[in-house]
């Protein structure tokens, strides 16, 4: 018997519109439990602009809940409707069934297993996220429980770099207004955060903290208090410029 060779896939260029096609994939932390009790994360990435959304999950069964959050957020910000999405994998198929049952009127595509396009843009995005997170942990030597915060920070930065040959960032292309990058800081560095007393606003207490990333719902930084072992958000911080040593 002769060998059966895999057929080659020819690259085809499509002219997509905003929110016309969304790629979805779930990535497992391989047994690592984050500080918030999350085991995995789900990634949504558009085919028009590669702007991506990442949500941490305690279990893969929360995928539909995160999809509804993503759906409402992007449709409110862009005033457009999602037309289609691509899924692969068992849990993504469960997500697909739930979307069909709730009759969300979204066209879906299921990618064939073991094909060159089985992962596509979202698979490459997840590999890039994990690769950069591993480099960060090698440099900082931080505990693995912060891997969820690191993934969110890496995705935050990747959405704010120039897109291909354009001088504009993904954030500017999707949101439509200019972005300033002078607020970016190095992940994992020691910092000092001032906590204010409402009774004595001119006085405060300085806390030694570990920089974790950026707040998703406000213009603030996220820190880990090394003394009280809690996560705080603040914009009044002094960045020390030295790596933390656990």
Percent of the chain at pLDDT exceeding 70:
72
What's 162's domain CATH number? Answer: 3.30.420.10
Full residue range of the structural domain in which residue 85 is found: 22-175
* Same structural domain, 36 and 131: yes
* Same structural domain, 76 and 120: yes
* Same structural domain, 216 and 150: no
* Same structural domain, 142 and 58: yes
Q: How many domains does the chain have?
A: 2
Confidence band (pLDDT; 50, 70, 90) for 1?
low
Rounded-to-integer distance, Cα 41 and Cα 238, Å: 31
* Same structural domain, 37 and 97: yes
Beta-bridged to residue 205, according to DSSP, are: 195
Q: Tell me, yes or no, whether 134 lies in a domain.
A: yes
Q: Tell me, yes or no, whether 6 lies in a domain.
A: no
Instruction: Taking residues 63-77, report their average pLDDT.
Output: 84
Confidence band (pLDDT; 50, 70, 90) for 132?
very high
Asked if residue 146 lies in contact with residue 212, where contact means CB atoms within 8 angstroms, the answer is yes
Q: Tell me, yes or no, whether 183 lies in a domain.
A: no
Q: Which residues touch 3 (CB under 8 Å, ≥6 apart)?
A: none
Q: Tell me, yes or no, whether 116 lies in a domain.
A: yes
């Amino acid at each position: 018997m002769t060998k059966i060779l895999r057929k080659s896939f020819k690259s085809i260029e499509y002219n997509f519109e905003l929110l016309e096609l969304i790629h979805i994939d779930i990535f497992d932390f391989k047994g690592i439990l984050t500080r918030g009790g999350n085991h995995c994360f789900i990634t949504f990435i558009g085919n028009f602009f590669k702007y991506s959304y990442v949500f941490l999950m305690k279990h893969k069964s929360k995928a539909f809940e995160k999809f509804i959050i993503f759906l409402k957020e992007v449709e409110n910000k862009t005033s457009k409707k999602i037309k289609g999405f691509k899924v692969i994998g068992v849990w993504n198929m469960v997500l697909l069934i739930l979307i069909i049952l709730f009759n969300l009127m979204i066209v879906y595509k299921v990618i064939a297993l073991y094909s060159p396009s089985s992962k596509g843009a979202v698979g490459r995005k997840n590999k890039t996220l994990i690769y950069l997170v591993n480099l960060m942990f090698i440099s900082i030597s931080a505990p693995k429980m912060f891997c969820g915060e690191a993934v969110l920070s890496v995705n935050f930065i990747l959405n704010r770099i120039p897109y291909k040959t354009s001088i504009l960032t993904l954030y500017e292309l999707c949101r439509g207004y200019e972005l300033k990058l002078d607020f970016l800081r190095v992940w994992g560095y020691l910092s000092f955060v001032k906590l204010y007393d409402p009774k004595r606003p001119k006085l405060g207490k300085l806390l030694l903290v570990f920089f974790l990333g950026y707040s998703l719902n406000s213009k603030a930084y996220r820190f880990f208090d090394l003394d009280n072992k809690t996560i705080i958000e603040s914009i009044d911080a002094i960045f020390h410029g030295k790596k933390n040593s656990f």
